[in-house]
Each structure stands twice: as C-alpha cells, then as structure tokens.
Structure 1
Amino acid sequence: MTAPDAPADPAASTPAQARAAFRAGLRTPTAGWAAGWTQANLIALPRDFAYDFLLFAQRNPAPCPVLDVTEPGETSASIFAGDLRTDLPAYRIYRDGVPVAEVADATEHWRPDLVAFLIGCSFTFEAALLEAGVPVRHLETGGNVPMYRTDQACRPAGRLSGPLVVSMRPVPAGLVAAAVRVTSRYPSVHGAPVHVGDPAALGIADLAAPDFGDPVELREGEVPVFWACGVTPQAAVMRSRPPFAIGHAPGHMAVTDARDSAYLVP
C-alpha cells in the first residue's frame, strides 16, 4: 500500500486528521502539524518499570514533564483519543536497551503490561516563538529538529539512569532573551532553555552531527540555544537496558487533543 501524501497545510489539520494520516502510513516529522494542539513524546515500559520511570521523571522534570499516564495495556489516554499503537508516524522498539526496529505500526509489539507515558514536547512552544519574531530553522527547512546527547547526567531513579538529551534551535543573538522569556512560560513542555551558547559546555562536539533529527544551519550572528528534550527517556532506556520498551521515533510525535494554551502559564 502506498503511503498517503501530507496534506497541503499540515498546520490546519485537527489532531484526529493528523492521527488518521499517520495511521494510514504517512511518515513525517510532526513539527508544524495541527497548530494550537499539543504534541507529546511517547515512552511505554513494562509495569514493573513504571514506578521507576515516574520517579525518574519527578527527579528530572525539565526533560521529562509527564502530561499523561495510561493504565497497563491501555492504548489511549485522557489527552490522546487515538490509538497509541498506530497513530504516531513512527515508533522505535527496544529490547534490553537496544533499538531493534523502527516501525510505522507498533500493534504487534504492544504488550498488556505496558504503561505508556506522554511527555511534554518543545514543539508546543514553537508557534509562540514565531509570534515573538524568533525564527525556528527546522520549520523553515521542513526538517526535523536536531537533538543531542549531552555529558550531563540526569538524576537516577531506581533502575533508570541516563544522560540529558537536548534539542537545539539557532537564535539571533538579539532575540535570545525573547526566546527565554517565551519558552519559560511553558514549564510543562520543557520550559526555558537549559543552555545558551558554546555546545562544548554540554559535551556536544559537533552541531552538524546530531544524535537524532537533522542538522540545521547556524548562521552568522546566531547563537545555539538548547532546550531539555523528551528523547531523554529513550536515552535512559539505552543506558539502563530494561527488557522492553517502545518509544516514538524522535521528532515523530503523538498529536494530542490538549491545547497548547493549556500549558501556558501567566
């Protein structure tokens, strides 16, 4: 079956329309889709690891802001009326911490003991950045946001530990304060940047070689700005090696039925 084409204006899609397109086989990064609707990272772990992950998220709220949690085996959530097994563009399957498959449909891999966590995503505040005049390069180019493992360790919890993962957006130097101000009002979707400037301070050797996503151009007069990233749970899975996990393919998010405005604080 041929995968469907993206709609002419993905931003105009409703969450249900976006999920239907992904369920039909459209694979694409979701930045810029369903404007005004919150996107979320997915990590699903066996029930035996659910408490460890909740504690890990509580100790690391910047990269792991929990928006919703399912009961074991459930395939929808209070903010996601679709099917978590089929309605994201792509999934990564982990066994003993190793990514063994990337699939468009996770149904055959889903287990009755899986607890799914929806984690806040920085795509939620990108429209607000644009409204403030801050450019978002990966939206300009139609690519995926670049994401990097850092040398900064998250606080461990139970059997889970791992490095902080960050996303990066180049920002003109004169607009960095605006970017900080805008994103600080979205603490449930990563909030303010964790670092501005020299990537080496985070242990990032080469901005042109992200660990996940696509590289973007850093232009003259721009500063790299880094936000905590919801791929951090998958980095913890790779470091801690639980027997099984399912995550979204980085940048290929769950489009929820929650409004971006629900996560905006005065």
Structure 2
Amino acid sequence: MMRMRRFKLHTGEYPVYELTKENYLTKTKKDKRYSAVGKDQCKRDFAVCPACDNPIQIIGIYKKLENTDKPYGRHYNHDTAIAKHNEQAYQFCPYASNHYDVTRDMKKEKMTDYERDIYRSTRNNFDLAVAILESDLGILVTKNMAEHMLKEYVASKAHMYYWATLYNIPWMLLYFSTSRPCYGLIVKKESSLYQYLIKRKDVRFTPYSFRKGYVRVENNGYFLNLKYTLLDHKRRVVNDEVVEEIWLELYSVNSKGEFDTEYRQKFVINEYRFPNLVAAPKYRRQWLIDLAKNIMPEI
C-alpha cells in the first residue's frame, strides 16, 4: 500500500500541502466536508490526492499509529463530499498499487474530468508553465518555440498521456515536442546548459539585448550539428515520496546518419511547484496566455 505525505483540499488547480496533523487541521478547519461517519459508525477524515485528484482517507490524525509516527493518506475508492472517485485517474496515479511500463505514445482511451482539467490548466496557465521551464532549463522560450510546443501538445493529445498530471504540465509541454536546433537558442549565462555549450568549439555566443543575462547560441565557423529534446520520463515512489524525473538531451547526427548523445541533464519534477505557482502567481504574461488560447481550442 502506498502512503501519501501530501494532500490537497480540492480537486483542480489548488495548492499542495505537506501532510502533518497541524497542517491538516489548520487547512480543513475541521469542516464537515472533510469527514464522514460510515455504516460501521467509524469517523473517517478525507482530502484529495495531489497526483490524481481522487479522494484519499487520512490515517493517523487522531489516533497514534503503530507503524509510523506521521499521518498519511491512502486512496479511498468511494465518492466523498470533496471529490468523486475516478477509476481511470486512479489506475495511473503514482500512488496506486498498479505499476506500468509507460511510453510517450501510450494514451488513455476515455477523457474524464481529470484529463479535461489537465488540458484546461495547460491552456489557462501556459505562461506559468513556461516560467518554470525557463527557470530550470536556462532557456528563454520565444514566441516561435511557444507556438511549437502548444501545437504539438494539442496534436499529440498530451493531456491523455498515461502519466500526465496537473503538476507535471510544464515538462509535458516540451516532452511532447519534437527536437529543435540549438542554433538560435537563447540561454541564460551561468546555467548548466551554458556551461556545457561554452566549451564547444563549434559554438559562439552573441549578446541578447532583450533579456538581461541571456545570450544567443550561434555557430562558430562550422555548421552547428546539435539539437535538444526532453526524453526518459520516469517516476517511482521511494519512501512514500513520488520521485519523477525527466532528461534534457543534446544530440548530433554522425556521418552514418545515427544519433550521438552529446549532453544529458536530469531534472526532478515535484508535486508542489506548479500547482502552488498557479494558486499564487507573482506575475502573469498575457501574451503567452493569449497565445495558448488561440492555439488550444476549448474542450
């Protein structure tokens, strides 16, 4: 049985909290929607799974547990006042007891409210997803790059991907994009990517005056045989925590037409970051929001 150490109060675009007794009682206010007395006359406490938006039962809030000193959540396969049970979303939740070997091409057959929420959050919060990508990758997302990501996200039906969640939206946007040339890429100085590129003899940088601290990648007298992509989306649960990873890869094409990996960088995706940014954004970029709404039709 998988134990959850995080919870949400509502389904959809809401913050994720660490599951402690103090947090749970403070956030729920002991409101009646978060508890119920069953036919067995036992009181049960509830919240929402941060990964699949299903109801979860909170164990150990009032009663000391024998096997752990911390409360935890576990899936509850019935409807509650705060969330309805969604079997499809549960089947592909990282906290479920089911385990699948998943490839990028594996998509769910049926769209439920959960997949629809993923799509709508991508559409409504595209600018915030871009902010996370820019911060972590050290790459400035231009209009051309943004359009490319959005069009391929829609064409790929990325919201139906087995492991698509409300929290990994930023990474899925680039994961479902085809590879792009590094030539013309605008990178942040002192980023890990910049530190790699500056060592290459076939790369030079030119100033980029529109964003402080960024430079444009150019060729240095040679054809720049280098592209970038996101690959190897993996996830597992370790010590009651979801460990989700994805890799940025730069590659070239050799004389035989084969792909040679030149650079790999691992990124860790957590359950807090994107939902909490959506719940309390510091600023918004309207042009990116408008772009997403123009390219992504409503569903």
TM-score (norm 2): 0.25
Flag the structure with more relative contact order, 1 or 2, with Cα contacts below 8 A and sequence separation at least 6: 1
Bigger radius of gyration: 2
